[in-house]
Amino acid sequence: MMSLSRFRKSARNESGNAVVEFALIAPILLIMILGLVDAGRAIGANSRLGQGVTAGLRYALTDSYALNEITAAAMSGSRYADGDVSVNVTRFCECPDGSSIACSGTCTAGFKRIFVQVDMTRMEPTIFSYPIIGDQITVSRTGSLQVP
């Protein structure tokens, strides 16, 4: 039987506490680090999509009718391969009062305004599946401009 003094001596022994505390905290730290890496990858994808939208809109300033070329410029500007990103380019027109009109039509008062919109979307895969987010993050950027 263990004496009381020996029990008190062993209760003060803290030689394994650091290992136990690290074993309890390590999984939480690992999840946090992986989450930060995934967030960084999503922010990087958002930046690349923004560059692609800007490149597409710059091309639209030269030729707003060439939707395929605007799409190609957006893809090139984002530096993603075909199939990694979804690009949607639309052209629409408005009258000065804000009402929509077919781009081939005319406005009763004033000149029609022509706009080009570039939408880019990417499904960024995550390192592992999160309970709320899942195994991929949807990243999208949109930009539009009025062309001359």
Q: Which tens digits make up the pLDDT trace of 132-144?
A: 888 999 999 999 9
Q: Name which of 55, 50, 45 is nearest 76 in CA terms.
A: 55
CA distance 27 to 19: 13
- Total domain count for the chain? 1
Q: What is the mean pLDDT of residues 103-129?
A: 91
Q: Taking the model in full, what pTM does it have?
A: 0.79
15-19, 111-115, 118-122, 135-139: range with lowest mean pLDDT: 15-19
Q: Which tens digits make up the pLDDT trace of 15-59?
A: 778 888 899 999 999 989 988 999 999 999 999 999 999 999 999
Give the relative orientation of helices 17-62 and 67-78 as an angle to the nearest 10 degrees: 150
Q: What are the helix and strand counts (H, E) for the chain?
A: 3, 4
User: 22: which residues sit within 8 A by CB, 6+ positions away?
Assistant: none
What confidence score (pLDDT) does residue 1 get?
A: 52
In a domain, 10, yes or no: no
In DSSP terms, 121 is beta-bridged to 86, 140
Range of the domain at 101: 18-147
Per-chain mean pLDDT for the chain: 89
Q: What band does 12 get if pLDDT is binned at 50, 70 and 90? A: low
In a domain, 111, yes or no: yes
In a domain, 2, yes or no: no
CA distance 92 to 7: 83
For residue 148, is pLDDT > 90?
no
In a domain, 12, yes or no: no
DSSP state of 85: B
**CB hemisphere CA count around 126 (13 angstroms):** 19
In a domain, 4, yes or no: no
C-alpha to C-alpha distances, 133 to 34, 35, 40, 126, nearest whole angstrom = 14, 11, 15, 9
In a domain, 96, yes or no: yes
CA distance 116 to 144: 5
In a domain, 41, yes or no: yes
Residues of the chain with pLDDT > 70: what percent? Answer: 90
Q: Name which of 40, 37, 72 is nearest 58 in CA terms.
A: 72
What confidence score (pLDDT) does residue 38 get?
A: 92
In a domain, 134, yes or no: yes
